[in-house]
Structure 1
């Protein structure tokens, strides 16, 4: 009998299991890899994914698969293979990965039902139940009317219903089963069209039915119409339409409407641009790799404004002409309006978009359009790397250095760049990584020859990079300037406004004040659930925690000492916006941060306002630092460059340089010269000095030297073991035991950093401690992490303890 390997959804603290099952003869012809099935596991039925058909099994007495949920595979064999790799590489449960990449149309709501066994005789049951209690009798009577949801029975008969149902099941009276209801549905539109022209005989036939005649005239004149359109415009009812159908004058038909996200007209751009020599050379190398149909990886290091987007567009067009599909990943939803506007203007309906701000229906239609080959290109954030692009030939990751490409919560904790590399290998596709500030690791691999390096050192407009001035805020304070804005930045803002030029101001903190402090005892007002300060939001007069969403009003007195001397410290985007309006009341200010972009289409609507020139100043967090192209922006101001620099993370210098260089690149992209003003308390730090010069190589050499001394990536690998629980002692005891196991068995090959409290020691009332495993061999590190996990969780009964393995973490906060 045929054997199927099924990944079953029975998560434990260690992993998710794959079990072997016999395939019933009736299923052998239809069951394929990627189908979901129901299988027995212990005394219950579980759902799972078929991931393989092994020739043999080491298990004895295999059980049979009970049912097939999907008639067709919901995940292709190629994507199952990719999921297996992601599971092994990131030590993530396979079932969580398969659920994560499940297409929208296949996502289901799982509900438990119960029904009477077919063989049961209701009369005999009623007589038997006369000797039993009334609850069993009531349940049987309810089920005699047909299957029932378990939840409804419990709601009707109370919590004791569970025990009664189990009793009846043990007697063979009833049976439990799962029902799966799709969460996403295709949008089917009912339409009508005229079958005849308005001839004399039709007019005569409908002489006594003026409303019917009106419908026919409208359909002949305007073409097919939906039922909703006819009802709204003509005010007709179903009887009129039914009468015309019966007379054979009109016909009804249905079609699937594709729900596409709106692209603001401001971002439509079909202008054919002339490429410079650097762009032509980049495209030539990518085309040669496409022709070879062998996996190749390129790193495009192009300064801001060097025309990387046109290289992407031309390369994707080249892939399409060769019959191959393409994926373009962007790090932020904020980047999609401009890119989608440009790509759709050139490639039309071959392009779809995928990100979290789309509706369920829009995601479903985009996914389905790719699956059937109607669309060939997807633009999206990191999850789009799993999209079902047919005959994939090209993957492009824009701003490849961005940390948003690494998923941290929830599982799977994958990096889209590494997954893209594996998927490109599986598909013999070309992978292109692009950035003005490549990650240290990517540029290091390019220098070693593992990636092909493409340099684009000139702006396409022939303009030079903007002039950059660094302002020492310590000196500003000595001179008595306590404003958010240095004198240099204030003068530059005034000058730009007088010239009707636009301004971008960057601050990587949302809110009004970054913390609220008692001036008498010095205690900051902290979140009651997390070990971080609350952020004050002036718009709602509330203090909010940006980790657990706890919010409260500012107390009249300090909770610690009772003092009334409460003061707001620090600066957030809301406060910058307010100060701008006070100092430059004539200026129109737009703010972009998490608080202003929560609604659908908010990103593109705010950017469209700025692009049209209806706003003078754009204030925002990191979502405005990259990819945006506004020719009239001549001034960029960085309010506080030290925010990312002072984070307790080995990548803080790299993040600071990248942010400064990227946001500086928004200035002077048109015909006018740009300038950038960076405000900082650390003007001598090498990342800020290199950012001032916009000199990537200078920064890369200094950062790489520091990494080599400290033996951090790319010279080593890291795995973070983060443990959380409501009781700190539980966490510490667990990590100490974990650490001792690793020291005992892997002491020569694994360096252990910790145990130590995480930089953010508590979130949502859960205490957070961690250890970092560091070593030269990633497979050995993973073996050590898994071994420590299995040993420490063996026999563990604490249900609140949570252990997180993060392979190659992007942050240790």
Structure 2
């Protein structure tokens, strides 16, 4: 007997490594292939796994797969090496890496179903049977059920230990059932003519003839359309035609439309000299192996057109294109540009789509019906089989870093995927990250500069207002200075638009009791609530906790509240008071909560139905507002005072990006920057448009303090509802890490902490952190891998959460 072939399987559980299984023993099972899901026995229970490839025998007691879930693979073989790389680099189980990469809805689970046995039925007649056991057996006598379904109203949950006891006594038995994915393909009935010719004595009736003529006109027609086009097409007549073999009825997959509107093709624009050079350099590299490029172009220089023409070059070579943008709000603009050029070959992937639409887009890519995938960071895993070009737009944006689950950085991993698949990766931005600047300096990236705007439009003029000289001013003039107000008046009189930027939503960021001075704080987090005037609600921006705007002070019971600080709602209210005839809108997460509302706002801006736009960081993300000629940055140094070594970099990028929204049309732009720190080098460099000066000063600071990119960092975050347990486990981890280092590791790996996290409590979780830093990335990773191997209970405890964040960005 020929032995079954062996396969390497990644199990979708928090376990390290992969496992070997033989092919399924049941006849008629699909042939196993890379990318398919399987059910395998794992530690006395069935588990979902993913086939990664063939395997060699590594032991004698290899178990067979129990079943194969999918008829076709869910991801191409080319992604396997990428999944392995991610798992190793981020110290994350590979099965969970793959599970997180697949779109929502492809998460069919395995459930234990319990059945009552003959012994159990007999036990129901015994008086000595425990009451809770009797209830369970009576419910199972009615029908098999999962454990969760055996609990009645007001009853305590049925524990696994109780069910295991009943199994051991022989009262019940259990079997696993693989439940269907939550999302399935939509199908519809279609009708086509059959090749059968009717004999002369059985000619179709006039009604039947009209049905056949309608079907013949279309070739193949959906049933719903046939009934609309030919009212004679009743179910009875359709069935009669099918029985006589005059028509064939089939079902076909119908994709849910993620776009909502058609886009007309647009003519190719004339390239500027810099655009032409950039397109040539990118095009000449595509199809020739891995190359990393930094497309450093000022705002309005036409980077999107460079992307489009480079994508055309890749597609002409039968290669796929992946486009990543930092946020959903940016997808609509770049999606429109690509669809106008490439039509139905574009698919989109992001969390704003329904599960059904995302499921369909994933399968369109798998079937190569779409060769361009556009999306946010999760689109990094798009199942493109032959990637030739990866574009990362706004590469500097911190939104590319995921802050839950697998904490990967999509920009960095885009470079890894490109290298593994021999593709070209383009990092596009007007404000390169320090990491990308550094990669250019050491030869990891080749820089392409675009220093002029399209159509020779001038860059905006920038004016600085020192708020430090106006600390005693109260009222609206604190954040809308007379100079800014005058500029707004002049802009509106010319019929042009104004953008005001403040990266803080809500009305008042610091509500304080007027009697006792106590701030209103979140019940679950160590953070002040923010007052939202439109909802008349105090809300936590971290966990969502909210209380009514008329709530009393929890300390003294007073109803008098001082609403200190500013947010976009307060700015909106002030602007409406200063300019009562102006049409004012906000662009923040409170005002723009869906793709539909975003598209409506952008349409209103294009149609000049908005005079003044007030926005948070959403407005900095590469949007093109051609009629905005004045930009006011209300508090330019707001991000400068965070306890984060990247604070100066973010401040420089925000000022530069917001300023870049001005003057992108035919009229010149003007920017007014209000700041308390006018002499800080990040502010000075941004106002002067001197990115190289900023980089020189910032990289010197990073080097002196041995911060990235001159070192690698891993944050270890410990969290628990019990503050003592969180602290105790963090201290135990700290001792393990400090004492577990070899002499060589002690010299090269710095273990800092544990200390309470800056935000010591979030969502009712008490948080402690350690920070590991080393100039030797491999040594640091090997050290952590060894500790995880030797002390699994420390890194995967039952009552405490431990998160490893490699290359952390958010360290609050």
TM-score (norm 1): 0.89
1:795 and 1:393 map into 2 onto residues whose CA distance is 42
The answer to whether 1:70 aligns with 2:73 is no
The alpha carbon displacement at 1:647 in A equals 1.1
Contact 2:76 2:385 in 1 (8 A): no
- What SS class does the counterpart of residue 543 from structure 1 fall into? strand
Superposed CA deviations along residues 539-566 of structure 1, whole A, max 9, x for unmatched, are 1111001111100024554323445542
2:704 and 2:126 map into 1 onto residues whose CA distance is 82
The residue number in structure 2 matching 1:461 is 455
The answer to whether 1:304 aligns with 2:299 is yes
2:719 and 2:115 map into 1 onto residues whose CA distance is 42
2:795 and 2:275 map into 1 onto residues whose CA distance is 58
RMSD: 3.4
- 2:270 aligned residue (268, 274, 277): 274
The alpha carbon displacement at 1:69 in A equals 2.2
Compared CA separation, residues 6 and 244, structure 1 to 2 (3 A)? closer
The residue number in structure 2 matching 1:113 is 113
Compared CA separation, residues 795 and 381, structure 1 to 2 (3 A)? closer
The answer to whether 1:288 aligns with 2:289 is no
Q: Return 27-36 or 454-463, whichever deviates more.
A: 27-36
1:591 and 1:223 map into 2 onto residues whose CA distance is 51
- 1:442 aligned residue (419, 436, 442): 436
Question: Residues 165-314 of structure 1 correspond to what in structure 2 (within 5 A)?
Answer: 167-168=166-167, 171=170, 174-192=173-191, 226-228=222-224, 238-239=235-236, 241-242=238-239, 252-262=249-259, 270-291=266-287, 293-314=288-309
Contact 1:514 1:572 in 2 (8 A): yes
Contact 2:151 2:157 in 1 (8 A): yes
Question: Residues 51-66 of structure 1 correspond to what in structure 2 (within 5 A)?
Answer: 51-57=52-58, 59=59, 61-66=61-66
- What SS class does the counterpart of residue 461 from structure 1 fall into? helix
The alpha carbon displacement at 1:452 in A equals 1.1
Compared CA separation, residues 144 and 777, structure 1 to 2 (3 A)? same
Q: Which runs of 5+ in 1 are unaligned?
A: none
Compared CA separation, residues 107 and 739, structure 1 to 2 (3 A)? closer
Compared CA separation, residues 312 and 600, structure 1 to 2 (3 A)? closer
Question: Residues 306-325 of structure 1 correspond to what in structure 2 (within 5 A)?
Answer: 306-325=301-320
The residue number in structure 1 matching 2:83 is 83
The alpha carbon displacement at 1:143 in A equals 7.2
The alpha carbon displacement at 1:732 in A equals 2.6
Q: Return 642-651 or 165-174, whichever deviates more.
A: 165-174
The alpha carbon displacement at 1:640 in A equals 1.6
Contact 2:726 2:768 in 1 (8 A): yes
The answer to whether 1:517 aligns with 2:512 is yes
Compared CA separation, residues 517 and 180, structure 1 to 2 (3 A)? same
2:436 and 2:796 map into 1 onto residues whose CA distance is 43
The residue number in structure 1 matching 2:533 is 538
Contact 2:685 2:693 in 1 (8 A): yes
- What SS class does the counterpart of residue 748 from structure 1 fall into? helix
The alpha carbon displacement at 1:380 in A equals 0.6
The residue number in structure 1 matching 2:399 is 404
Superposed CA deviations along residues 423-472 of structure 1, whole A, max 9, x for unmatched, are 11221111111111111011111122221111111111201210111212
Contact 2:215 2:226 in 1 (8 A): no
The alpha carbon displacement at 1:626 in A equals 2.3
The answer to whether 1:7 aligns with 2:10 is yes
The residue number in structure 2 matching 1:560 is 555
The answer to whether 1:609 aligns with 2:604 is yes
Q: Return 62-71 or 587-596, whichever deviates more.
A: 62-71
- 1:359 aligned residue (354, 357, 367): 354
Contact 1:738 1:789 in 2 (8 A): no
Question: Residues 539-688 of structure 1 correspond to what in structure 2 (within 5 A)?
Answer: 539-554=534-549, 557-688=552-683
The answer to whether 1:784 aligns with 2:783 is yes
- What SS class does the counterpart of residue 181 from structure 1 fall into? coil
Task: Count the aligned residue pairs.
Answer: 793
The residue number in structure 1 matching 2:810 is 811
Compared CA separation, residues 54 and 206, structure 1 to 2 (3 A)? closer
- 1:703 aligned residue (698, 704, 708): 698
Q: Return 430-439 or 625-634, whichever deviates more.
A: 625-634
The residue number in structure 1 matching 2:342 is 347
Q: Which runs of 5+ in 2 are unaligned?
A: none
The alpha carbon displacement at 1:387 in A equals 0.3
The alpha carbon displacement at 1:240 in A equals 5.8
Q: Return 755-764 or 433-442, whichever deviates more.
A: 755-764
1:262 and 1:20 map into 2 onto residues whose CA distance is 42
Superposed CA deviations along residues 217-258 of structure 1, whole A, max 9, x for unmatched, are 987899976444566896986446546656778764433222
Compared CA separation, residues 269 and 797, structure 1 to 2 (3 A)? closer
Contact 1:734 1:792 in 2 (8 A): no
The residue number in structure 2 matching 1:751 is 750
2:591 and 2:363 map into 1 onto residues whose CA distance is 31
The residue number in structure 2 matching 1:801 is 800
Compared CA separation, residues 138 and 774, structure 1 to 2 (3 A)? closer
Q: Return 549-558 or 719-728, whichever deviates more.
A: 549-558
